[in-house]
Amino acid sequence: MAIRRDTKLLIGLGAFLLLLLGKLFWIQIVDDRYKASADNQAMVYNTIYPSRGIIYDRNGLILVGNRVTYDIIVTPRELAKIQFDTLALAEALNVTPEFIRDRFAYYKKYRSRIGWQEQVFMKHVDPSVYMRFAEIQYRFPGFRGVARSTREYPINAGGNLLGYCSEVNDDFIARHPGEYVPGDYAGRTGIEAAMEQELRGKKGYNIYLRGSNNQIKARYKDGEMDVEAVPGNSVTTCIDAELQNYGQRLMNNKVGALVAIEPGTGEILALVSSPCIDVNCLDDFGSHYSEIMANKYRPMFNRAVAASYPPGSVFKLVNGLIGLQEGVLRPETMYPCHQGYHYGKNKKLGCHSHPSPLNMEQSIMMSCNGYYCYVLKSILDNRKYKKINEAFDKWREYVTSFGFGQKLGSDFPSELAGNIPTSKHYDKVYRKSWNSTTVISLSIGQGEIGCTPLHIANLAATIANRGYYYIPHIVKAGNGLEIDPKYYERHYTMVDTTNFKKIIGGMYKAVNAGPGSGATAWRAAVPGLDICGKTGTAQNPRGDDNSVFICFAPKDNPKIAVAVYVENGGFGATWAVPIASLMVEKYLNGDISRPDMEKEIMNGNLMHKVRPYK
């Protein structure tokens, strides 16, 4: 019975060899995965990149187009045994010999990792340079050029609005599983990012077979399996290219943002953030990246949708409307104001010099601070509500019905929600001991309020519409492109249309009452355009006050609503009023009747007042 030990060992040997053979049998004959993998490695997929979709403005002008450039590709392994003229290559490609030596040193260092893979030697080579290279390409085996379409910008419509495309990084690939591979480009900000799905198109490829000596042998199945690239769809935006460009020029050398909306549709006509990225940097964003990031005014930051600003006096309109709706304010209500509103023990919320007392219309026209302190107080201390919390939450409900304190839901990326405080917030901060005077700054749009220029422009559009807004958006439907039905919906505020009419009278006077009448925005007046507006001067802890203005025109059946926000611009009237007025005139009339004003604004430089970020 006992088996000899050598026999046991031989049986063990046989068992282990069978184990090896079994595994071999499995991976060589049963399992097909490895054969497929090997085929993949033996096939060369020559990617054909699609041209990206074109972006048009509302009038059919091209905002972003395409042009052909070339990437120079090299297979470093093929160069290993070839001596060639570095100087000639450098001259042909218009680079320094050091650049070429550096690249080769890199390939040498990582040769085992690179293996037979192709490497991108140079990117975005101009066609004229490429043609020169192509003539002598035979002298540099291993090199070839690949046509690639890059972006072209006929109109300077602002880098922040349009956005840029760049090669996807690992992080981006991980966030979009299965959609991108290294080497692909994708829109990263602005319209390019918002409409990436439409614009990107579909890649194609030609398949070639490699032989065992690594020469390309043939088209795989005579190109039967090749896939053509599908160009990206073009996108029509609601941007008015000329107006956008004009706004861009007006905001030059100022920090802030400008948003123009067509009130009747919610279409964004212009969206300027300043300082902005120069469109010439967009097509090869990577090489300008460090330069842009080093700019202390942060041009990458799209202030129009992502900056949280205090709205300042333009917010008085909201409080006035709430007061009217709540019945605690009537147009005839008069309140006194002597250099401000006095409350508590010797506390005062200051105001500028103007006649006293004022009625509601005058208070809007002259932008009286004191008046709105009374208004907010009467809203919050309304007997109708048992507690201040209840009254405050009602007030907040009104404010958010205007779109404040939440993302509006625009199709433009990186929109900020902003902030409208809640009664809970004050309960927490003041340990439940607060009243209407504690939050009195809210009456004039200061304090805990944060909103974006887009929110403010939406307020202008809402008033222009007498009580509703369409969600501001940037893309127009058409050419088979559907937009979200929510952009066709009217969003009503909780304030009745009739109350809006009462407010608009004040806004009309603020612009059209003429100089000397106390009207704050008289500089905005353009004969025949019936502009209605409201100035704002918002405190800025980082220097001078911010200059704010919202307006719409014409008064009846408005075509455009504009919000302008200029950081450290001083009074609303100083910078924001003329900029908005010129925008309205440009859009409605096409030409400018006040060239002096236009020149003054375009040449105005406020950068010395703005404290740069570290």
Partner 1 sequence: MYLQGSYSSGRRPTTKSLDWWIIGCYLALIFFGWMNIYASIASEEPSSIFAWSCRSGKQFVWILTSLGLAGIILFLIPPKAYETIAPILYAITVFLLIAVIFVGSDIKGSHSWFKLGPVSFQPAEISKIATSLMLASFMCRGGYRMKGRNFWLTVAIILLPMLIIVAEKETGSALVYIGFIFMLYREGLSGWFIGIIGLAILLFILTITTSPFVSTLILLGCVTFFDMYQGDELKWWIYIGIPVLVGLCFVPAAYKTAVITAVCGIYAVWSGWRAFRNFHHKFRWATLMVLIGGMIMIFSADFIFEKVLKDYQRGRIEVLLGMKDDIVGVGYNVHQSKIAIGSGGFFGKGFCQGTQTAYGFVPEQSTDFIFCTVGEEWGFAGCLFVILLYGLLIWRIIIDSEHSRESFTRIYGYCLAGCLFMHLFINVGMTLGLMPVIGIPLPFMSYGGSSIWAFTIMLFIFVALDRNERKYF
Binding region for partner 1 (CB under 8 A): 5-6, 9-10, 13-14, 16-17, 19-21, 23-25, 27-29, 31, 33-35, 37-39, 41-42, 112, 115-116, 210-214
Which is nearer to partner 1, 128 or 212 (by Cβ)?
A: 212
Query: Min. distance of Cβ 30 from partner 1 in angstroms?
Result: 10
Distance CA 432, CA 426 (A): 7
Query: Min. distance of Cβ 83 from partner 1 in angstroms?
Result: 17
Distance CA 286, CA 469 (A): 39
Which is nearer to partner 1, 118 or 284 (by Cβ)?
A: 118
Which is nearer to partner 1, 31 or 228 (by Cβ)?
A: 31
Query: Min. distance of Cβ 73 from partner 1 in angstroms?
Result: 17
Distance CA 316, CA 537 (A): 12
Query: Min. distance of Cβ 112 from partner 1 in angstroms?
Result: 7
Query: Min. distance of Cβ 44 from partner 1 in angstroms?
Result: 11
Identify the CA nearest to 396 among candidates 429, 427, 421. 421
Which is nearer to partner 1, 13 or 87 (by Cβ)?
A: 13
Q: Helices 97-109 and 86-93 sit at what angle, rounded to 10 degrees?
A: 110
Query: Min. distance of Cβ 9 from partner 1 in angstroms?
Result: 6
Query: Min. distance of Cβ 89 from partner 1 in angstroms?
Result: 25
CA 348 remoteness from chain centre: 40
Place of tokens 């040769």: 111
Q: In 10 A of CB 287, how many CB atoms?
A: 11
Query: Min. distance of Cβ 213 from partner 1 in angstroms?
Result: 5
Query: Min. distance of Cβ 227 from partner 1 in angstroms?
Result: 23
Which is nearer to partner 1, 33 or 431 (by Cβ)?
A: 33
Tokens of 293: 């990031």
Q: What's the per-residue H, E or C state across 394-433? A: HHHHHHHCCCCCCCCCCCCCCCCCCECCCHHHHHHHCCCC
Place of tokens 């579909």: 202
Determine the straight-line distance between the first and last CA of the chain, rounded to whole angstroms.
88
Q: CB-based contacts of 222: which residues, under 8 Å, 6+ apart?
A: none
Is-contact 200 52, C-beta < 8 A?
A: yes
Query: Min. distance of Cβ 137 from partner 1 in angstroms?
Result: 24
Query: Min. distance of Cβ 100 from partner 1 in angstroms?
Result: 24
Which is nearer to partner 1, 62 or 209 (by Cβ)?
A: 209
Which is nearer to partner 1, 154 or 211 (by Cβ)?
A: 211
Which is nearer to partner 1, 23 or 175 (by Cβ)?
A: 23
Q: CB-based contacts of 529: which residues, under 8 Å, 6+ apart?
A: 553, 554, 584, 585, 588, 589
Kindly provide the b/e burial profile for residues 471-488, where b requires at least 16 CB atoms within 10 angstroms of the residue's own CB. Answer: bbbbbbeeeeeeeeeebe
Which is nearer to partner 1, 30 or 294 (by Cβ)?
A: 30
Distance CA 519, CA 363 (A): 10
Q: CB-based contacts of 517: which residues, under 8 Å, 6+ apart?
A: 365, 509
Which is nearer to partner 1, 10 or 293 (by Cβ)?
A: 10
Is-contact 422 396, C-beta < 8 A?
A: yes
Q: CB-based contacts of 240: which residues, under 8 Å, 6+ apart?
A: 57, 58, 59, 260, 269, 270, 587
Which is nearer to partner 1, 21 or 120 (by Cβ)?
A: 21
Positive or negative, the CA dihedral 388, 391, 396, 397 is positive
Which is nearer to partner 1, 31 or 484 (by Cβ)?
A: 31
Q: In 10 A of CB 30, how many CB atoms?
A: 8
Query: Min. distance of Cβ 298 from partner 1 in angstroms?
Result: 37
Rg, C-alpha atoms of the chain: 33
Distance CA 370, CA 87 (A): 76
Which is nearer to partner 1, 38 or 88 (by Cβ)?
A: 38
Which is nearer to partner 1, 27 or 607 (by Cβ)?
A: 27
Distance CA 522, CA 537 (A): 15
Identify the CA nearest to 578 among candidates 611, 610, 541, 603. 603
CA distance to 14, 25, 132, 294, per residue, from 17 (Å) = 5, 12, 62, 64
Query: Min. distance of Cβ 17 from partner 1 in angstroms?
Result: 5
CA 603 remoteness from chain centre: 26
Is-contact 442 469, C-beta < 8 A?
A: no
Query: Min. distance of Cβ 183 from partner 1 in angstroms?
Result: 16
